[in-house]
Amino acid sequence: MQEVSEGSTRLERMFDYVLGSLSVAPLRRGRNSVESTVYGRRGGGMAISQGERQARRPHNELKTAMRTFLATHGEPASISEIAAGVQPLVGVAPSSSYRSALQDGRYFERVSRGVFRLRDYSS
């Protein structure tokens, strides 16, 4: 038990007792875990606590960047080319985010496996 100074109040002593009895829980993964990974429960990301969790990406930021890249690129591109092209704009994102965004048939058209282009509405 910790030494208690004569001038400490009852509340301070209780606070010291509670802090002294806390222990660090091991990292758990799962639905009710206190900590999660950078890319969610199934991701292979580094574990971080909720206090350090990064803010979510703004809605459609990745999709808009991908549309801009494909418009300036001018030809169909693979998912890895798209990811490399938009990384300076939006940073690192999981590959599933790119695949998910490319499923939007309003903007993207699949040319072949893993290769996409902007949908052409001129015809």
What domains are defined for the chain?
10-52 (no CATH), 61-118 (1.10.10)
Q: Please compute the mean of the pLDDT values over residues 91-96 and round it to a whole number.
A: 91
pLDDT digits (tens, 9 = 90+) for 52-64: 556 788 888 999 9
CB 83 within 8 A of CB 98: yes
Predicted TM-score of the model (pTM): 0.55
Would you say residue 66 has pLDDT above 90? yes
Measure the CA–CA gap between 49 and 106, rounded to whole angstroms.
Answer: 37
The enclosing H or E element of 21 equals helix 10-21
**For residue 74, pLDDT beyond 60:** yes
pLDDT tens digit sequence for 6-32: 666 766 766 566 556 554 444 455 555
- Assess whether pLDDT exceeds 60 at residue 45: no
Using pLDDT thresholds of 50, 70 and 90, give the confidence band for residue 34.
Answer: very low
